[in-house]
Each structure stands twice: as structure tokens, then as C-alpha cells.
Amino acid sequence: MRVLVTGGAGFIGSHVVEALRAGGHEPVVFDVRAARGAGGGDVRDRAAVSAALSGVDAVCHQAAMVGLGKGVADAAEYVSHNDLGTAVLLAAMAEARVRRLVLAGSMVVYGEGRYSCARHGGVRPGPRSATDLTAGRFEPRCPSCGADLVPGLVGEDAPADPRNVYATTKLAQEHLAAAWARSTDGTAVSLRYHNVYGPGMPRDTPYAGVASFFRSALARGTAPRVFEDGGQRRDFVHVHDVAAANATALEADTAGGALTAYNVGSGEPHTVGEMARALAGAHGGPQPVVTGEFRLGDVRHITADSSRLRTGLGWRPEVGFAEGMREFAGARLRGE
């Protein structure tokens, strides 16, 4: 297939391009960072998008403004890049009769992950308060009885609960893609990435993931600063496995007329503190410092149930946590 990869010059997008090429496909890069004449373009530019779709069989939509954002001060920028950009792309795809889409979704659409209470079963705690976080009370409590909760794996059928502007735009992208699929009988897949890391992550930017923050600190010879108490559970998935999931989803025989969401995670939950220690150990120090600081809007635990992707499409992650951290400790970051 000839596949347009929006954001194809970015961290994940560039790995997707490599995976598609290795699978015998013809990836076409479309990215604001690319040079004019070499795939340069903005997904909000209808004419540029329409030209890029010429002869294309499918689209892998990776282009987005990422990160938590700064409250609502940059909400317009997020909505413009992520939602307007997606709407322009989908309209151009409908006109060009391109009927296959794989969207870079995100775990952030869930808000907090899955929790259970010994008394009340499955519960959904609300956002943590600044008062609790300041006092070092990081764990969510049962909204009915205030008891301790046990975190579990979140599945794709969990209710959406976006907790910041970025998360809201990622959910809106899915709704736009679902509307496009219904109106065109197109095939739409949203791959809800969990914590992606690996070679080529951008360094020293407020929009990068926590793995990049820690790796950038180690490169400067400073200790990674771990927020809260380091006990936040996440699913760290290697970018090579994420790229492979995109190739698998593009090749899958999935039904048209609707959007199907899949979690993309390693299946190995680890705490942020564990990740920081593993990365520092592989890099040769310095060891991380647990600060007790917090960011209002962060969630405590969010780990993936990726069984739908495994059983439905046959995808399997290949890079384990220890192996991935050893590689990432010495990998080159974007901007180095």
C-alpha cells in the first residue's frame, strides 16, 4: 500500500515510516518539520493535504500537538492542530476516496485507570485535589466510602474521562474519525498509545514524555526528578512495538463504517520510580530523586489491557522493559 504518514518526521511517525517500508509498503511523509518538496506540509492546509493524498491507499495519522498543555492558555493551539487538522484531513480523504485510516490515539482519553474497592467493586475516582496532593496523599480513594483502592488494567470499553485540554482533543479526534467512517463506510482504527519511549524522543521539551525528561537529565549529568512518591503505575511501551502496531492495523481486515479502538501497551506495568531507577542504572547514574512535587491534572495509575489488540489483530510487543531501558539509556534523542 501507498500510505500517507502525517507527522512522519516526528518521534513515533518516523518509526512508523521505517516499519511500513520494512513491510513492503510505500510510506509518504507529510510533516510540518519536513523540508518543502520533501513531504513538508500542515494538516490544516486543505490544498496541501489533498495534493499529498494523490495515489494514496491509506493514512496513518500521527500529526498532533502533544503534551499536557498549560492549563487552558494554549487550548486554541491544541484544538487547531489536533482537531481542526484532523477534520481537514478527513474531509480531504472523503473527497479523495481514501477509505482506510489508522489514528494515533492516546491513553489520556481514560483519565484515571481502572480501580476496585473491596466493598463497592469497580469504581471511578474523580480528579485528585490540590489539597490532597500537597499533603502527600497521592492515592485516589473510593468515592463512596473513602477506602483504599486497588488499581487494575483499563480496557477500551472504559468510559472516557479526559482530564486536560490535550486529552480532550485526542478524544475529539476519535469522534471525528468515527463520524468519517460512518459517512464514507471507511475503516478507522484508533491506537491508544500508552507511555511510548525509545530512540529519537525529543529532549528538553515540556511536551515530551516522562522517559524523555529522565533521559535528558541523565545526559546532562543531573539526577532525574521523580514527582509524587514515584509510585505512579504506567505501561511503558517501546516505539518499535508501537510502529509495528500501526503496520498491523493498516494491514488488518477490519470492518468498515465504524471506529475500533485498541490499547497499545507492553503488558508490563511499572511505576515511574522503577523506570527512573532502571534508566539511571543502565546509564550509570546519577540516581533519581523523589521530590514529592506534583502536576495538577496528572493521573495516578493508568495501565493498559492490550488483549484486544493481541487477540484481534495478532500483535505482540517484542521489547521487554529491562531490554528497552538499557537501549534507551544510550540512545540518541532528537535535538542531541
**What average pLDDT does the segment 191-220 reach?**
87
Helix locations, the chain, DSSP H = 11-22, 46-52, 75-78, 85-96, 130-134, 165-184, 210-219, 239-251, 272-283, 307-313, 321-330
Give the fold, CATH level 3, of 2-113+154-330. Rossmann fold (3.40.50)
Environment class of residue 121 by beta-carbon count within 10 Å: exposed (0-12), middle (13-18) or buried (19+)? exposed
Cell numbers at residue 172, please? 475529539
> Three-state secondary structure along 183-218?
HHCCEEEEEEECEEECCCCECCCCCCCHHHHHHHHH
Q: What is the pLDDT of residue 26?
A: 98
Predicted TM-score (pTM) of the model is: 0.95
Cell numbers at residue 184, please? 464514507
**What average pLDDT does the segment 79-105 reach?**
98
Question: 233-264: per-residue pLDDT in tens?
Answer: 999 999 999 999 999 999 998 878 999 999 99
**Spatial separation of the C-alpha atoms in residues 64 and 53, rounded to whole Å:** 18
- pLDDT confidence band for 336 (50 / 70 / 90): low
3-class DSSP assignment, residue 58: strand
Cell numbers at residue 258, please? 465504524
- pLDDT confidence band for 163 (50 / 70 / 90): confident
Residue 101 has pLDDT above 80, yes or no: yes
CA nearest to 317, candidates 201, 199, 238? 238
**What average pLDDT does the segment 172-188 reach?**
98
**Spatial separation of the C-alpha atoms in residues 92 and 97, rounded to whole Å:** 8
Q: What is the pLDDT of residue 68?
A: 66
| Pairing verdict, β 269-271 and 233-238 | antiparallel
Contact 215, 333 (CB under 8 A): yes
Cell 493498559, residue located: 304
Residue 206 has pLDDT above 60, yes or no: no
**Spatial separation of the C-alpha atoms in residues 287 and 65, rounded to whole Å:** 31
Give me the chain's average pLDDT, please. 94
| Pairing verdict, β 233-238 and 150-154 | unpaired
3-class DSSP assignment, residue 134: helix
3-state percent breakdown (helix, strand, coil) of the chain, nearest 5: 35, 20, 40
Strand arrangement, sheet containing 258-264: 26-30, 2-6, 58-61, 100-106, 187-193, 258-264
Question: Above pLDDT 90, what percent of the chain?
Answer: 87
The residues spanned by each domain of the chain are 2-113+154-330
**What average pLDDT does the segment 317-333 reach?**
95
